[in-house]
Amino acid sequence: MKISNRTAALGTENAFVVLAEVNRLIREGKDVISFCIGQPDFDTPRHIKDAAIRAINEGKTGYTDSAGAYVVREAIADYFSRTRKIDCKAEHVVMANGAKPFIGFAIACTTDYGAGDEVIYPNPGFPIYESQIIASGAVPVPLPLSEKKMFSFEIDELEKRITPNTKMLILNSPHNPTGGILGREDLEAVASLAIRHGFWVYSDEVYSPISYDREFASIASLPGMYERTIICDGASKAYAMTGWRMGYAANPTLAPHFARWMTNTESCPNHMAQYAVKTAVESPQDETLKMVASFKERRDLTVGLLNGIRGVKCLMPGGAFYAYPNVTEACRNLGLKDSEELRKFLLARGVAVLADMHFGKRNPGDEEQHIRLSYATSREKIIEGVRRMKEALGANEGMEKAALSVKA
């Protein structure tokens, strides 16, 4: 029996593909240090776990509204209002089992299948953006990110991709895989284009608390933008709750339509986990702040060490927990075709990373090679993993100095 073309063409998230490969190697007794998965290595804070246990004991184990329990959505609306400087109401909020469903819901709500409707998305970027655009029958329009612009994009590159068929622009800041952050000036320029041309903005803000050197800014906070912005956030990164699968989105117009998609797909979000999220967003954010401080130390360590390896250049990411080093020269030195060959080369030597091809097709004219490392792992593993990379790629004398300066 034949499967559908739509399913055959469906993309995936290669972080999980590589993770499965890493886990297989570990089962076979191989020693592998993995930088491939974007998951905090912290446990979910105790007070959040206790809230879920309390909810179970109180019998919160049945269906809720498809959008989520109203009292929980009130708490999320208050959280969005405080952190995004908007007037968000519970009626604007919908919860789902993870943040990913909202990518598909947003595309389905703003485009029609096979009508030539276009969605602009960042490239490189989270691979599910392109996957869901294609699966929804819309037209993917990649927006190249520039290393020269600290992995932001040129506004004129965005403007020349806007057509009468443009229905939505996807933004992701802080950004996966590069750690880049959009500044207020960039957001203001995007907002001006969105208002002038009348397209929606899907603002993926799941890394919003993990911003190191500047305050996070949401495009929804700009005048006239909340109404046309879909804010998407989730508990996975901010509260070390990846396995809880709790995401939430807000938009005054689209919320009831997202709720209908929830009815059609998942019935409702996980009931008891909703109360864990309620506690997470209402409580003091001390545990998140500690986690972010630790990630910043690891960022500085990782980038310092990477820049001591021959053939590797790494910008300092502004947020999230990813480093995205340029390895063009390293590939050339080793006679490797591209970053995917380098990824396989490193995996054979006990280091798991992702190649740039896992985050989108190469932008025309861009021959630079990159890999992504998640530094959401221990300091010891970072040091040992990058040491193995040094040994595999060859090192500059400055690597030890870099490690010492970061340690100091």
Give kind and range of the element (H or E) at residue 229: strand 229-234
Half-sphere exposure for 314 (CA within 13 Å, toward CB):
29
Residues of the chain with pLDDT under 50: 395-408
Query: Within 10 Å of residue 57's Cβ, how many Cβ atoms?
Result: 10
The pLDDT, as a whole number, for residue 275 is 98
Rounded Cα–Cα distance for residues 332 and 357 (Å): 17
The pLDDT, as a whole number, for residue 124 is 94
The pLDDT, as a whole number, for residue 185 is 92
Average pLDDT of the residues of the chain? 93
Q: Which of 112, 380, 367, 75 is nearest to 233 (CA)?
A: 75
The pLDDT, as a whole number, for residue 397 is 42
The pLDDT, as a whole number, for residue 400 is 46
Query: Within 10 Å of residue 164's Cβ, how many Cβ atoms?
Result: 8
The pLDDT, as a whole number, for residue 20 is 83
pTM of the model: 0.92
The pLDDT, as a whole number, for residue 6 is 84
Q: Which of 231, 234, 237 is nearest to 210 (CA)?
A: 237
The pLDDT, as a whole number, for residue 408 is 40
Domains and CATH numbers, the chain: 5-43+287-407 (3.90.1150.10), 48-282 (3.40.640.10)
Half-sphere exposure for 3 (CA within 13 Å, toward CB):
5
Rounded Cα–Cα distance for residues 6 and 3 (Å): 8
The pLDDT, as a whole number, for residue 9 is 81
